[in-house]
Chain A
Amino acid sequence: MSTATASGPIVALKNVTKTYQQGAIEVHALRGLDLVIEPGEFTAISGPSGSGKSTALNLIGGLDTPTGGSVQVEGHDLGALGRKALSDLRRDRIGFVFQAYNLVPVLTAAENAEMVLALQGVDDKTRRAKVTALLDQVGLQGLADRRPDELSGGQQQRVAIARAIAAQPAIVLADEPTANVDSATAEMLLDLMERLNQDLGVTFLFSTHDPRVMARAKRLINLVDGKVDSDERRDG
């Protein structure tokens, strides 16, 4: 599995709308969002609560379906994919990092990190070698056999990052990845993700409130009321 496709955007959202029903009230989370993410980007989506950041990430990750418009990942229209094809796309091409780490509590750090590889059918030996190297890369040497409840929040988030990049996805979607950790850990995690972006070319798309993430992003998209308010590129 390659880090990104040779050509074309990884993510393309065209006039995407998302409306939720909350009781009798219709909530318009996204109101015609257009967005393109190219390979190798280190992009943050910011905006006030309710601006549609997480909704956008959920739609890109195929976790939710839009009310209108189209969401494409590597040229695949997610709306046209069935449950199984969508599962396969998430497994093979999209990595997730969640705010609350969301590691599987009964699995060790190594087992959590290798989960996607196992789902892909990668053999034990290759999997273990790859995950050992990855855990070293994210600074978790010697902690491979610890369960999540034996790791700190920062360590758990590192495992989550290792899990997200283990299968070399086209894009890693990180929803508020620094929200539950202290400043030092947040900086450490950002260093790590930045390094993975620079060294390995992993594409990251964050949704965040955190000014530290916004400051590090090479592209900052600000959403207001479900639409792009500003799109600032800081390349170079």
Chain B
Amino acid sequence: MKLSRMAWRNVWRNSRRSWVTICAMSIGLLVMIEYAGLVRGYLQQMERQILEVEIGDVQIHAKGYRDDPSLFIRMSDSDAVVTALEAAGFKVSPRLLGAGLAAAADNSSGAMLLGLDPKRDAAVSKVSQMVAKGQWLDATKPGEAVIGRWLARTLELTVGGEIVVLSQAADGSTANEVYKIRGILGSVGHGIDRGGVFLTSDAFRELMSLPKGAHRIIVRIPTDMSLSQAELALKPLAAGHEVKTWKALLPVLAQMFEATQGAMTIMFLIIFVAVGIVLLNTMLMAVFERVQEIGILKALGFSPFSVLRLIFIESGIQTAISVAIGVLLSIPATWYMTEHGLEMGPEGGISLQGVALARVWYAAPSVDTLLLPIFVLLFVIFFAVLYPAVKAAVIRPVEAIRHR
């Protein structure tokens, strides 16, 4: 009679209780696999939004620009800074920023004007890949603009339509130009969606009478470099300007980023401690209702270690079934969460510090998001079973046999 066969039969002698335990463990595991995938997906979405779309790893501004974002406060030596940064291995894109009014036919709306080098910017930002209709800017076509999706809706514009941009130029004159709509962006972020008007650098300089300089330099750092290392390396290269990491630019978001990861750990603990308590209860009941039987086994020659093994094999069987069910159920659930996501906010989304937070969380499953919940479950189960198993192993046969 193999110990494993005996353990298998013991598991099913109270099948209802075993199934309740298995269900609790399976559902706990399923929830954690999904949660880990969703949190990973959310963090990836946030990171992509922050680093690849809106902010970059580091931004360089002329001193005072962030407190007073004026057309006149700019880095006049931006070309030299960009050259130095690129020589040091950073990917950079200088941007020109301004505000104005956009109009088409009878409609008008406030506009955020961005001038950039389309090719260079594509190396630091994914905005160029987020064109929903039409195409991204072409440096050789300064008479064309790419605009945000809500601005397009407000102005009732489609690709090929015309937009009039009005502003005050740097020389005090009225800036006034008509651009052909080359592309309309998909969802990027609140600011860009509502008022973003992307122009080539040349078009922006022409419109705003700005022969040189830039308001912002967006920097992406090499993957093997930490943010703090990059900040230290960048400061002397952009001497006289303000160098800020995205965490310094968006401190609330940076904290939220870390808090989300902490919340996941806490959630893991809460769910698995609950599962652990269910299992502890089950195994305690399974042991205490068979104290006499365990005494007999010991009388017949079962060593304490054999009893320990028996109890662990019993919980191992339940755990294996639970993991199999949990993982099987997680396949369609993960597919759904990856494809359709989970709505976590109101229609229109939430913006924090100007960065659009994902309204729909999509799962980003990985080996880690599958294995981590399993390992944590195994860890919790081991400790939940240890007490009843040791209790059964060390019980004195004479006391166990007399037990009623």
Contacts and interface: CB of A to CB of B under 8 A. Distances in A.
Contacts of B13: 105-106
B302 to A, nearest CB: 7
Interface in A82-134: 83-84, 87-88, 90-92, 96, 98, 102, 104-107, 111, 114-116, 118-120
Contact of B9 (A88, A107, A116, A163): A107
Contact of A98 (B2, B10, B296): B296
A127 to B, nearest CB: 9
Given A61-B299, A87-B301, A119-B306, A107 B1 contact: yes
- Label chain A's interface by main secondary structure: helix
B301 A102 contact: no
Contacts of B300: 90-91, 96, 115-116, 119, 163
A15 interface: no
Interface string B280-306: 000000000000110111111111111
B397 interface: yes
Select the residue from A58, A64, A104 with max chain B CB neighbours within 10 A. Answer: A104
A84 B304 CA distance: 7
Contact of A63 (B1, B9, B401): B401
Contact size range, B: 20 to 34
Given A116-B301, A118-B1, A119-B302, A64 B296 contact: no
Given A104-B6, A111-B1, A96 B299 contact: yes
Interface string A201-227: 000000000000000000000000000
A41 B102 CA distance: 112
Given A63-B299, A87-B298, A102-B296, A114 B398 contact: no
B66 interface: no
A21 to B, nearest CB: 13
B396 interface: yes
A87 B296 contact: no
A98 B401 contact: yes
A102 B292 contact: yes
A61 B401 CA distance: 13
Nearest to B297: A104
Nearest to A110: B1
Interface in B1-42: 1-2, 6, 9-10, 13
Given A98-B401, A111-B1, A115-B1, A104 B296 contact: yes
A102 B402 CA distance: 12
Given A104-B296, A106-B9, A64 B302 contact: no
Contacts of A61: 299
- Label chain B's interface by main secondary structure: helix
Contacts of B302: 87, 119
Contact of B6 (A64, A90, A106): A106
Interface string B386-403: 000000000011100100
A91 B301 contact: yes
A92 B6 contact: no
Contacts of A105: 13, 293
Interface string B184-211: 0000000000000000000000000000
A64 B301 contact: no
Contacts of A64: 396-398
Select the residue from B297, B300, B303 with max chain A CB neighbours within 10 A. Answer: B300
Interface in A55-90: 58, 61, 63-64, 83-84, 87-88, 90
Contacts of B304: 83-84, 87
A223 to B, nearest CB: 18
A120 B302 CA distance: 10
Nearest to A90: B301
A173 to B, nearest CB: 9
Nearest to B7: A106
Select the residue from B298, B301, B305, B401 with max chain A CB neighbours within 10 A. Answer: B301
Contacts of A111: 1
Given A104-B297, A107-B1, A115-B1, A87 B10 contact: no
A99 to B, nearest CB: 10
Given A107-B1, A115-B1, A90 B299 contact: yes
A121 B289 CA distance: 28
29 contacts: A61-B299, A63-B299, A63-B397, A63-B398, A64-B396, A64-B398, A83-B303, A83-B304, A84-B304, A84-B305, A87-B302, A87-B303, A87-B304, A90-B298, A92-B301, A96-B299, A98-B296, A102-B296, A104-B296, A105-B13, A106-B10, A111-B1, A116-B300, A116-B301, A118-B1, A118-B2, A119-B301, A119-B306, A120-B301
The 3 A-B pairs of least Cβ separation, nearest first, read A91-B301, A106-B9, A64-B398
Given A106-B10, A163-B300, 8 more contacts: A64-B398, A88-B303, A90-B301, A91-B300, A96-B300, A106-B6, A106-B9, A115-B1
